Amino acid sequence: DTAVSQTPKYLVTQMGNDKSIKCEQNLGHDTMYWYKQDSKKFLKIMFSYNNKELIINETVPNRFSPKSPDKAHLNLHINSLELGDSAVYFCASSSAGEEQYFGPGTRLTVT
């Protein structure tokens, strides 16, 4: 069983559209994260959720919104997509103070 899964793996969409990326973990972790890796392979944290509370919220555009229906899921919604949003988005999870487990990534291409 995959510990941290993301769907879809690839997402191609046009500017201005609204899209969502889903993340699920079956590890019983209490914290989940979203990261963005840009074309230069630089990783940056976007959000993390602990027990359904946002605990880190980086200076990302408010077009990005995390949604956590339960402890095992943290979905990423993106409104009014822009060309600069093209990147690989990684979900991860961890127990408090422990190592993170990463999902396989979602490659978003905005045309």
Output the DSSP codes for 58-110. -S--TTEEEEEEETTEEEEEE-S--GGG-EEEEEEEE-TTS--EE---EEEEE
Q: Which of 45, 60, 71, 72 binds another protein (CB under 8 A)?
A: 45
Q: Which of 17, 58, 61, 80 binds another protein (CB under 8 A)?
A: 58
Residue placing its CB nearer to another protein in the complex, 69 or 97: 97
Note whether 42 binds another protein by CB under 8 A. Answer: yes
Note whether 38 binds another protein by CB under 8 A. Answer: no
